[in-house]
Structure 1
Amino acid sequence: MWHQERKSGPTFLLYGEQASEDKRGSSQRDMKTKGRSRLRGFSHFQAEVHSPGGHSAAVKESAGAKETARALKAEYCWLLRVDHVFPTPSPNKTGPTKLLGTEAHCRMARKMSINELEDQLLCPICLEVFKEPLMLQCGHSYCKSCVVSLSCDLDRQFLCPVCRQAVDCSSSPPNVTLARVIEALQAMGESNPTQESCPVHHNPLSLFCEPDQEVICGLCGIIGAHRQHKITPVSTVYSRMKGRSYFSNRMPLAERLTGFREELSVLLTEVQQQKRNLDEHMSKLVNNKIRIANESDVFKWVIRKEFQELHRYIDEEKASFLESTEIKAARLIASIESHVKQTSETLKKLKEVEISLDKLNNESQLDFIRKHGSIISRSELPQLNPLEGTFSAVSFQPGFHQDDIKLTVWKRLHRRVLPAPETLKLDPATAHPLLELSKGNTVVQCGLYQRRDSNPERFDSSNCILANKGFSWGRHYWEVLVGTKSHWRLGIIKGTTSRKGKLSKSPEHGVWLIGLKEGKVYEAFNTARTTLPLKTRPQRIGIYLHYEKGELTFYNADSPNELLSIYTFQAEFQGKLYPIVDMCWHERGTSSLPIVLLTPSMIRHTRSPDRSSDPEEPTKL
């Protein structure tokens, strides 16, 4: 049995081993006739394509037409050489008269592509291409290894897996023809790679349609959709396009070199710029590393110094508590020892009296009369002086509870950990004309009106004055002595706040103040005025500014060891801030008392001056 199908690749004729010689000759004659008709049709097609306007003229075959004709002739001539690949079996050969398919004896041989032909050359047992094929008596072929594996012995008969006929394996000769076909296909597959075929006619794509710019087969140009189009062989188009690309790329060498040099120059510039950027980035990284190391060393030094100072404070407080306890205990012990001494002396006298009385009691009447005849009353007998005062058991009371130690120490440390007091003075250029300064511009009080220049910095309505120093960052602490003055206000003010007219006392206008009114009411001038419930009337006010944290805290600084918080403002400070003193209004009496801006020398600061054990400053890299 043989199969026919037209696809890509050369066309083969596969005959059964007992195919009729007449049928085979008839099939070959038919194919030759078809080949000649295709050639005649193609010549007619060439005449139609190249005759202008359809008029009869001498037909001059172009190089493309000749190439196409040669391709068709080669295909036709190949059909005539089929017998060399598939020789006709000898009629004298013994064996079965059946073909590979039992009903294919009288069928017309069909064309078959290489791919489908390979599908037909598969062993029915292992489903792979035949290897050393053997032909059984029934006409079916199998791989030698498959037959051996099934029969286990070539002398043993077994049933054919296809037709189930009993055959003798010992009389199965090699199928030489089938082996040659397989070798030819394998050699053709290695030398001729698979070529694309026309999806309509299944012929090789060997022509190129110029108008449609498509690759087609020969039938597409004769009877297909590209009939009467200008058609050129693929090889010609390939050579033409390749030559065009080649010559288009062969521009003047100078121009190409110039462009190449320009591109290289641009690329080199970019590379150098990137290198400079990377070097700069690397330098920044190294500097940043060194800076971080230096800052870390400085910060560690600051930490050690601060904790050393805290330890010093704690040690001082510890020594103070221990000293106070020892003094109180020593006093109690001295008192007890005094009582012990007095009691000892009294006991000694009692013993002496007791001895005297015993002797007197044991004497005879005559001796008693002779020695003590002059004693006429009890008052003349030895007397014992009674103990002066009474003694009762006492216990040690240090004057504070154990839990109060931490709180007391914290309060005292709070004062010590504040920044060192600022050295501030009052600025006469900002003073109201009624204010008088004294003692190096540290004391201010209301006085007589004075004619002064009206500069923008001076207050002209409110009795206020600023310090000569402003703060725009950091932590700062200063103290103001208000004494028993009944009207005053203290705080800070923005440097840009207007000083002409009545002062608007609120944070919205850049003013943060607390004050005393009529000697009774303490107020904080926040967005809404807040009354401050103070139990005592402070005479010294401590002011602490933490610019970055946005805190302004007022303290009762009367105690030298601890600060009592009065009020804290929370704000986002901007610009320079100045300490301000508001004398309220001009009156006689307690309102005319001065206010003193304390200098560090005036403040009883409790920081220890000893710095001999400070940590060594770090060495910068």
Structure 2
Amino acid sequence: MQTDPDKTTPGGSSSSTMLGPESLRQELLCPICYDTLQDPVILECSHNTCRGCIDRLWGGQAACSCPLCRREHPDKRYTPNHLLGALIQAYLCRMERECQFCQQQEEKLVGETPAPVSQPMQRFVTVEDAAQQYKEKLKATTVLQEHHLQGLKVLQEQQEERVLEIKAQYLTLERNISSQFTEMHHWLQQKEQGMMKELKREEEKLLEEVECTQKSFKEEIKMTEENMSHLKDRLEEQDPAIFLTKITSFVEKFCVERTLPVTAPLKGLSLGQFMGPIQYAVWKEMKSIIQPVLCPVTLDPKTNHPNLILSENLTSVRMGEPAEFQNSPLRFNKSICVLGSKGFSTGTHYWEVKVKDKTSWDVGLAKESVNRQEIVKVKPKNGYWAIWLRKGQEIRALDSPSRILTLKTKPQKIGVYLDYEGGQVSFYNADDMSHLYTFKDNFTETLYPMLSPGVNKDGTNEESMKLFHLKL
């Protein structure tokens, strides 16, 4: 490399013993963004990078390493390099001053003929040095590409695992659907076969009665035909003496008026039993096989907020004037809600809540240990799994983050389904059983039904919320 004879060290020595400006500038470049280091930090392997660059590089990687030497840094540790930062600031200020000086000198020389110089001020690098510099850049780029490739492969593996999870979940749900319908099909087939057997027994009984009557009719017809034959033979006798022989006993025997036998009224098969509302009758009877059992949920008067009024049968709640209650850690003091009287720590359960004509409500479940003395955000991490209605039309699932539910119709009844072991809480429009939202979690303590009728500031939300069981 050709050196600049005009540049000397403070001690008067030639710059050949120190880093030249270009070499110094190269030392101050970030190996990630290839720009001057910003807020430099020093890694445990002694290499320097921009703080923002290394945070972005390591932020999306599981295995973190230096972009230059590839040494692994599993703890992602680095130290701010304040000395290098100060050096970079000084270097940049100096370069700025030199550029301003050059500009002033150039302005003075405008219009003048420049004097020939014997030695140009250009700086040169050897081909080998230039190649080495670009190789370093390409190596750093290769490291970044390798990290990017590793990240892509990790994401690809995650998607492949997701595909397997979806297929496994599909098989599980397919078996569940098949099992549910197989049970109903089996019950319906048994019911159908039972009705067909009952119909067959009634038919056989009626046919037996008819056959018995027909048999007696045949015997009566045969005897009547024989009598008619005797009468006809006697009437055809031409000899009066023979005709009158034993005529008295003959007349007594054959000239007696006969009446038709008495028969029971004609009966048919039972239309009322076999031609009535069969589907409705069977539908009502199906409640014996429906799972889960429709649970009789009632409200716990020891938990309701002082502004809530419960019905005498503890199945409905509405807003009212504040009442005096004995203070208790079981009672909600700041959150306007009430819990069910029975909790669930196992099994599957389903109940429904009437929310017709209301503009605000909350429906869901709360774990036993929720804080009932403070206002809390209703979300799973705080022990609540619920949905709510606000402003008369906005229904939101209170998940993390919460999600607005887009529905075709506004529900008048909300169905709540809990599968404790399965970690599932699902909500339905109980009018048509369309699915609204499902929470998935791991339950470790008793869960209680939770209701809130909402505030009634403008008088448009005075309707009660009512708990009831679906009666088939």
Q: TM over 0.5: same fold? A: no
Normalised by the size of structure 1, how large is the TM-score? 0.31
Normalised by the size of structure 2, how large is the TM-score? 0.40
Give 1 or 2 for the bigger CA radius of gyration. 1
